[in-house]
Structure 1
Amino acid sequence: MNKKIINQKFYKYVIPSMITMLLSGFYSIIDGLFVANAVNDSALAAINIAYPIQVILNATAIGIGIGGAVSYSYYNGQNKTKQMHKTIGVTCSLLLISGIILPIVLNYFVNNLLVFLGAKGNIYNGAYEYIHVILIGGILPIIGNGINPLLRNQGKTIYATISMSSGLIVNIILDYLFVYKMQLGLHGAALATIIAQGVVAFSGTMMLIYFKLKELSLIDYIPNLITTKKILTIGISPFGQTLIPCIITVITNWMCIRYGGDNALTIFSIISYVLSSIQLFLQGIGDGIQPLLSYYHGCKQPQLIKYIYKKAITLSLAISTTLTILVIIFPNILTSLFNVDNIIYHECRNALIITALSFPFIGNNRLSCALFYATERTLFSSIIVYLEPCVIIPSCLIYFSNIFKLTGIWLAYPIAQVILTIIALYFIYFILFKAKNVNVTVDTEYSI
């Protein structure tokens, strides 16, 4: 095992992936920052209420994209070119199909969805104004977010980052123009986001055509049962990883309304922006090592998988612990960005400090799920992903809010992450530390 080469590959994939995931999370945050400063607090709450609907689009794209990317790397590790091409083609077809159908379905049910999410009065009107524009252009975030994993698993990590960065720059410029200068409010913020996603979708598609799609034949794009099933089976965990935070947001919104009203909802909106950025940033480590894990899984090299995972968990703990310390020391800086009144400001400051305690455990859980689905242990990853919103978070929210009221809502999240970490480490013990080395010749220089 050439550790020097593997270390080079590790950082080649992980650093751009972390940047890309962080940038993807900035889209809604940028909207929130501009709206909070140019409109009002209820507009910020409106984006937070509508955000889960937007994330359904992103989760579908990421689920299909990563499902196809993992399958691609697995076949690459086995040198099966025909299956690699078929996987890329079917993945693109699934993204296109879902990009057409899903926004139409969501737009049909959007009124009922907003009511279900807790929107009413001015917040409902603002949420509808925002999400209606997003859904009209819904195919763009699905294509953009779905193609990104395919680029990354072909070794084009820098190009994936450039694509995402270009969209973010466009989003910032258009938010300033539409929200500040033209005073278009939530409609302008949504328009800026969807145009920016169009830039990501277009640039990503052009890059994929140049690097890979020109090698495919027409028949590669026709979905078959075997390839589709493999993509969707692997993709169910990254789909859940993207969607679950929003399900948790919905549950927490209900509890905030119960114990603190609109002020608590605004506080949680700010916390959600911080949490989503941290989650995506740390998930970038898992997504970064996923091509390597899938490749060496295809090569039947469990010892290399163990080495890469240990390196990733060390990096994750170092970064997440540093972020926790920074938030605890400087919570005022984050809170002041959103221009809220004094009552919300002080409560939000305390809530951020409590929530920051969850960061190291979030990193571990995101990394564990990436390990599970990258090595086709989809049952383990699904348990971790779906146990959180279905059992652990609701239980913690109900229990601690009954005791500590609004403070209990903020306490519930870090405690839930500790419980998930214990479960994840139990699964990892059987996957990594009981794995036996398989003597298969493998090129550790690994080029995709």
Structure 2
Amino acid sequence: MWKRWLAMGFLAFVMIFSSVSHHADGSRHVGKPAKVKTGLEILLEHPDRLKGKKVGLITNPTAITRDYRHALDAMLEAGIQVVKVYGPEHGVRGTEQAGDEPGSFEDPRTGLPFINLYGKQPGEMVPLFDGVDVLVFDIQDVGTRFYTYIYTMAYAMEAAAEAGKPFIVLDRPNPIGGVKVEGPVLDPAYRSFVGLYPIPQRHGMTVGELARLFNEEFFPQEGKKKADLTVIAMKGWKRNQLYEDTGLPWVIPSPNMPTTDTALVYPGTGMIEGTNLSEGRGTTRPFELLGAPYIKGWELAEALNKENLPGVSFREAYFNPTFSKYAGETVGGVQVHLEDPERFSPILTGLVIIEKVKQLYPEDFAWRKDGNEYWIDKLTGSDRVRKKLDAGVSARKIAEEWEGELKDFRKLRARYLLYPPKGHKQ
């Protein structure tokens, strides 16, 4: 009998152990991943919809099938006539660092022109679309308002509308889920290329849903032509899924977004860019390693862990960035250890980190300025966060004040969702 119970216990252990897996790249999934089909894969099942059309493909390395074929190769193999390829920030090949302008060149393998769109206004894009019948956008976003790919999409949609060319978005998952909506809604007075439209810092929408929102809501408000927009939706994606639940391979969307954990913390720790702390650029854990030479790692870790923030813990850490802030210097700080993505609140966490650094090191902490403007204001979409933190208002109090505007946004976005929530509060 005892052998039977031992065997049953061992089986139960194996089942429990195997139901949760953690990967070396910092990603995780629970249970067996679902089979989600991206918009690209749906298009490839019906390539005739682009028959006879000269296609301009807006893309980067993330546009792959589940068997790792890039959209460009897969489309050419399917008989789709791609004639030009366009890239966002970081370039078609994803090699450039943030803010660096990628060049345009002829691809030596296909002979196609690879054309940079980053830094260009819609009017500058219009002539770049000459010789193209239809634009197709396929890029993996990360779900944060200040990640720029969605604005390359928006500008390209404007340019396509001006040029009289249809625009197709091949949809992909929001890697941090489509349920939670968090953070301040952008004040249009603070619009920039890290925030063009009044959406929250964590918007909980896919690129296809955002394209619909921009086209139907914001373009008309600004007196712009609406694009002839088609979104090819995914099959099998649910709003409560994180990226690991999809069964799709992860390709880094930009040089400093190496893992899905990076994407999960980014809506909050991305705000560190607006301070004189290193956000971990120049390390293997950007946006998870945070600090400055003036910080005592043990002191900050202790203060943050006392806050009992949901789903996260902090470890004393030291690092030497190879580039960006404090390159070549020893930096003290913390590593953000994500424990429970469902409970984790990235933007509250980011605010509390800044709050504690300001309290512990008031003579050393500073906001980063971009000319005469504070970068944190661009990231958070107004000067409210900066001014309230400077006035000593607690991070938790600041976060509570967003609830009204988030409620309004949830109502607005509901009209443009392609994958309605089922039993999940938006």
Which of the pair is proportionally richer in strand?
2
What TM-score do you get using the length of structure 2 for normalisation? 0.26
Choose between structure 1 and 2: higher helix proportion.
1
Larger relative contact order (Cα-Cα within 8 Å, sequence gap ≥ 6): 1
